[in-house]
Copies of this chain bind each other. A is one copy, B any other.
């Protein structure tokens, strides 16, 4: 990216991808950091009694992967961008330990007046099923 000085310089349509196999350590460390010890993430035997049948990754862990994509998208831009929030997030399908997910992050719009980028975020699993959909907003500092 050519270094930009204002939001006007940010290219609409710019897209990045980020892939990761969801590891047990990702899920467990995330629980340790946050304090979220829901059995649905950590107790395989309990999960066998639920419709999922096994442990599922935290939705917010998957959002963490999308944050990585949101950082990659502004590498090389002349000014820092920070996350302002999300307009809508849906965790559409469960993600299991061992699944490989791919985040696609695409800047679809700019809010010039408020110095914001608006992006469409989609996460798919190894079967090309959409597991997370979101709209993310970043702001030029």
Contact = CB atoms under 8 A, between A and B. Distances in A.
Interface of A: 18, 20, 25-26, 29-30, 33-40, 50-52, 56, 58-61, 63-65, 67-68, 70-71, 80, 82-91, 94, 141
A37 B36 CA distance: 23
Please state the number of chain copies in the assembly: 2
- Secondary structure at the A interface, as helix, strand, loop or mixed, is mixed
A83 B57 CA distance: 11
A33 B82 contact: no
Given A64-B30, A64-B58, A36 B85 contact: no
A82 to B, nearest CB: 6
Contacts of A82: 40, 56, 91, 94
